[in-house]
Structure 1
Amino acid sequence: MPFLTVADVLRLPVIAAGRPRVAAGEVQLGRTVRWVHVTELLDPASFLEGGELMLTTGMPHPSDPAQLRGYVDQLADVGVAGLVLELGRRFQQAPPELVTACRERDLPLIVLARGVRFIEVTQTVHALILDAQGELLRRAQHVHELFTSLTLRGAEPEEFVGTAADLAGCPVVLENLIHHAVVCAPAGHTDGQVLEAWPRRSRNAATPDRAAVSGPEGWLVAPVEERGSRWGRLLMLPLAGGPAFGPEHTMILEQAATALTLARLTGHPEWDRRAHSSVLLDLLHWRYRNRTEARLRAEALGLPTTGHRLVPVVIDHADAPPPGDTTVTDHLAAQLHTSGVKALVGDLSERRSGLLLALARASAWQPVVERVARDVRAAFGEDVVVAVGPGVTELSQVTRSFREAEQVADAIGPTSRGRPFRVASDVGLPELLYSLRDDVRVQKYVEQQLGRLVQHDARHGGDLLTILRAYLDAAGNKSIAARHAGLSRQAFYQRLRTIERLLGTDLESGAQRTQLHVAVTALEALDSPPSGPGTPR
């Protein structure tokens, strides 16, 4: 990083010649040195701006402990990088009161056992600082061009956050106003390491007006805005045992936050939905390393997992009319937010939305799902299919449950859409065959069983397939079937004999009637209208 710290200055030969010893503030040696200032004043705070390394011989310093503490308080309050005391002129050793005061304020105190030329120290350090500032400007130009390029090509938020993490070498998280981690770039760590107890930890770090260190963990925080209002913020987390944040870290985070603000003005702003969709898809296909990582990622988006029943829901809207200004997913998210139900809501594909509801274990899930289903079907039409997987108590079980919900959604055809929602027990023979309607083996079976009958009806304008269906639906009761078909028994019997002749079958055989019933049911599934492009089977 192109900046000097107190520790860097202590390693310079011009300082090392004075045999420096750190008497206080050892853990703060990573502070950035913005400038070097030589003073023997007892009240120098009015001449300082913060970040200075103070050089003094202690000539006018009082022996009064209270005044020494007041002197240290001034320096600490203004934010100086450290205090260097040269022994030999005023003090033969550092006053204990001065050491104690520096320790209490965590201010680095460096004692020089031998005299050095302060003018050489300032010249050397200032030259290095100016070189570092020049390098920082060049680096800032490169970073600015990089984020500008991402903005111009309409990059997604994951790219902005990932780029910031790569440049800084530190984890970076984009969160919204309610402390949900929308995007996490762990920079070599796992999501679990970064997002542990995220909402609670995040609330401890206040949001400054511009990039600055905040909170007990020393996070670097920058606001992200949208049309003049605060949308969320970008956070950079320090590495354990790594150096403190310096000017380059701040510059990178500011550039990234500005780019994200511009992206919200010029691009599609539904970043929360993207984050929910990403986690739902990762759960559906179980792309997590372990259960902990999955739990932390879900909880970072506000979904409680411990002590809750998790209910996966798949909403298939392929046959619904084209959406207007509001998509099905956005409508569901708004509905659940209004009702106060905790859930992840996202897109599973172009034709399907997914919900993962987190409900109290003692509560019934059916009323919640029915309310959701009735609302979305009222808004987008009765062709919307709502399929529900079994409720689970472990996040690792969600994958199986989600896939079961998808299988149910695949099985619900036009003739099975009357109820608000469907579960696995609703999948009977018609639904099973509907889900298999694109299977070539099913198509061949239908052709072998009914092909001659369908061709005969097509050539002669007949109704033999209708008669067969009525007969099978009546479980082989000819009288009931003839009455339902509106035919006399004699005319009905004659058609049955024609069917037997064409198909080479015996309709008195229960086994053969079963085979034909399956074939007729499958034919109805094959004749169902297609569900649009990209339909999974």
Structure 2
Amino acid sequence: MSNDLRLTIAEIIKRPLFQHTHVVAGHRGLSRPIRWVHVLETADTGQFLNGGELILSTGLGFGEEKEKRLAYLTELIRRKAVGLCIELGRYIPSIPDDMIELANHHQFPLLVFHQPVRFVDITQDLHEHLIHAQMQALRNLEAYSRSLQQLSLQAAGTLKLLQHFQVAVQTQVFYYSPDGSTQFAPVVPHDVAVEMSDLMGSHFSEMDSSTEAGVRFLSLSVTRQLAYQPVMVMGHVLAYVGIVLYERSADEYLLLTLDNTVSAMAQLLMRKMFVEEQALATENRLFDDLIANRSLSEEQMRSLLGMTGGSKTPSFHMIILSFEKSKNLVEDSLPPHDLTAIFRSLLTRHRFRPFIRCIGNRFYFLLMEQQPLADSRRSLEKAFRDVQKMIGQTLGEDVQIWMGISRMGKRLSEAGRHLAEAEQALAFYHESSSPFFADLGLFRLLFHVPNEPVLTVFISDYLGPLLAHDQAYGSSLVQTLRVYLDANLSKQEAAQKLFIHRQTLYHRLEKIEEILGEDFAATQNRICLEIALRARDWLSKEESHH
């Protein structure tokens, strides 16, 4: 369809008004499509060209002067005109060799009229054809858009859409998914498909997964290139759809048809993802049981996760992601739970098998390694950078995000314990520079200490007198102690963080020393106080969750 709408130089020389025309140079450029026809006699008016014009001239502006004619021809080539038609006569009786040589060098068609011809007749004839072709292209595009809508209503798959696209553009098209699957229409030989898939995989993997929408080009050889466009949903690239162009450039009809196809493909993939999410109710049951601290056996877990037979349980990780929405977020923005489908696609691309549950402002993840990863931690960090970026794009760039990541799990029956590790890592997120439970150091021990009576007694023994003083006098000695210890006993830094004068800090420290003893900052006592302060924070957060 697209080929019928392209008016090339090779086609116009077959028209009646060009019957006495002869191509003297630039034969290899005859396939160039013409966008418009323009009469231009001098090089200094080349600024009015937009590219794609066929130029008509009598030679009036340059005649037989070598410098002028070469400057004129060079300007047309620079301005991306598609060809030059010269009427031989009084101003230029024949085409000099230097013009022919320059035109051949740039594959720029140079045509001559051996008999006088009315330029107005040529422009009228070709403009009518071009306008008719543009109108026909718009009608074809509108019809194509309607047919895409009908296909969407019929719940067509990606291959059906791709085949429909191929019929519309009459050239090789493809669909590439980052998971490695590639479809071609028409079907290509297996070795060609493998070669193309590998090439696209290498090229697309280097691109940002949240790349800007719009058409891009990839040159394969001098005569062959790909024109492709990402299929994006909520800023996330799900696939690529493209055209293989051989000895031709992409015209507007091709690019608009590609854009319409990509939009339809995005709707199809998004609908498919959300339908799949609805079918994952067992995941909700699994996480609800784990969150409620209901223990599940290995077999129960395997059944809920759809794992059958005696296959080995892969390594897994439990992650909790908590967020606070942006204050500037519009009310009708995307609900957080609708992001689960996008996260599933994104995490799968990072070689995890994800199970996800969204409750309120929290996402719970159970990530299974599809195959043993050389560096699980690095893979997790990379994956969740993308997750956080996606949340920022959809819920607002100033959204606050906190995370807790458990140690690697080997037995599914211990998933609840690993979820508790993620919970503890999340609870200490403000105190730790890392979201990993494994990095909590000494504070990991709190996870194994019973809340009652051990922790509460421990807190009371070390902080009780200070807590009682704060309650009785409305002071903030506990907070002062916390900041002072966090500042590694630097009085200047502690005073700055507390926004008080240093003399005020001295008075408070003297009071703390009076209550706790003058050796409260000694190594052994300091460690106990640090643990007691963190344990108190953790217990208060635990109580707020229950």
TM-score bracket relative to the smaller structure: 0.3 to 0.5
TM-score relative to the length of structure 1: 0.48
TM-score relative to the length of structure 2: 0.47
